[in-house]
Amino acid sequence: SVSGVGETWFDIKGYEVAQGRGIEYMDIVNRKKVCVVGSYVAQTCFGGNAVGQSLKVGGTTFSIVGVMAQEAEQMEEGGTDDCVYVPYSTAARLSFTGTISSYTVTVTDEEYAALGKEAIETALYKIFQDEDAYTVVSMAEMLDTMTSMVNMVIAILAAIAGISLLVGGIGIMNIMLVSVTERTREIGIRKAIGAERKSIIAQFLIEACMICGIGGLFGIAAGYIGTLIVGKLSFKMILWPSPSVAVGSFFISVALGVIFGLYPAIKASGLQPVDALRAD
């Protein structure tokens, strides 16, 4: 991307110039054909020695006066390091419009963002006398909007996950109830020779936890493989899920076995030995 910027742009955005210099005030006043390039452009096109070289943009030759420090962890085409910055006065002339498309204003503290926006809107209204002639966007408001949208998506995904866990838990409970029915005679024999209720409950809870735990491990493995595939195809990079999330998912699976396996276990422990031994 090629952008026309002012001399304070790099300070406002917090960008660092690693080689050479940035855009200066006299570059803008004299409409000089100079530019600052990103580290990807410097490395790919000039082998890391871009300062003093020439670069053609739209048929116009620019002299490279600076190279920005690397912003992204991995440099790639179209990324944040694949950029060229020129004086905005030069860019306005080359665009054949001679106008500036936008202004960026920064405040000393985030708390003043709303006041700053109000002050700018007031000043612009005095000039244009029409609210439709301009648009003032606050990054703080955009961040709040995006945060609310992300929270909504998280809530929806959490609801879907909760429903999935509920359905899966009911399935585990049904499996355990069937297991209790099929092993009624075994339970009766154990109780007849002196097995306590807590040992019967522990037996079926351990079985339910093992089923859910093994299922959780398969799910975690599928998640890791899916993340690797999506990362490689969509972002062309290797992505790994957080280990803490994987461990947490496993323990949630085990806890699901305890919760939904408790009723079948209690039902099994409550069987009378005579009735259990009489069952087929």
Q: What is the pLDDT of residues 118-164, one digit of tens each?
A: 999 999 999 988 888 888 988 888 888 889 999 999 999 999 989 99
Check whether 235 has a pLDDT greater than 80. no
pLDDT in tens, 192-208: 888 888 999 999 999 99
pLDDT in tens, 59-78: 889 999 999 998 887 788 88
Average pLDDT of 214-219?
Answer: 92
Q: How many CA atoms lie within 13 A of 48 on its CB side?
A: 1
pLDDT at 279: 64
Q: What CA–CA distances, in Å, run from 277 to 104, 174, 188, 199? A: 82, 23, 5, 18
- 3-state helix, strand, coil split of the chain in percent (to 5) is 60, 10, 30
pLDDT at 78: 80
262 close to 205: Cβ distance less than 8 angstroms: yes
Check whether 114 has a pLDDT greater than 90. no
Which residue is associated with the tokens 């503290």? 109
pLDDT at 64: 93
pLDDT at 280: 58
Check whether 275 has a pLDDT greater than 80. no
Is pTM beyond 0.85 here?
A: no
Token digits of residue 209: 């936890």
Report d(CA 277, CA 185) in Å as an integer: 5
Exposed e or buried b per residue across 143-165, where buried means at least 16 C-beta atoms within 10 angstroms of its C-beta: eeeeeeeeeeeeeeeeeeeeeeb
Please report, rounded to a whole number, the percentage of residues in the chain having pLDDT higher than 90: 41
Find all residues with CB under 8 Å of 65, minimum gap 6, and list them: 20, 21, 22, 34, 35, 36, 51
Cα-Cα-Cα-Cα torsion 249, 251, 253, 255, nearest 10 degrees, comes to: -140
pLDDT at 101: 79
Q: Which long-range contacts (CB under 8 A, 24 or more apart) does 135-138 make?
A: 138/113, 138/114
Please classify residue 104 by burial: count the beta carbons closer than 10 Å to its beta carbon, then call 0-12 exposed, 13-18 middle and 19+ buried.
exposed
Of 49-53, 228-232, 262-266, the least confident? 228-232
Phi, psi of 21 (to 5 degrees): -140, 170
Check whether 99 has a pLDDT greater than 80. no
pLDDT at 241: 81
pLDDT at 150: 92
Q: How many CA atoms lie within 13 A of 41 on its CB side?
A: 25
Measured over the CA atoms of residue 90, residue 95, residue 99 and residue 101, the dihedral's sign is negative
Please classify residue 14 by burial: count the beta carbons closer than 10 Å to its beta carbon, then call 0-12 exposed, 13-18 middle and 19+ buried.
exposed
Degrees, nearest 5: CA angle 96-22-84: 50
pLDDT at 139: 82
Average pLDDT of 262-275?
Answer: 86
pLDDT at 132: 86
Q: Report the 10 Å Cβ neighbour count for 88.
A: 22
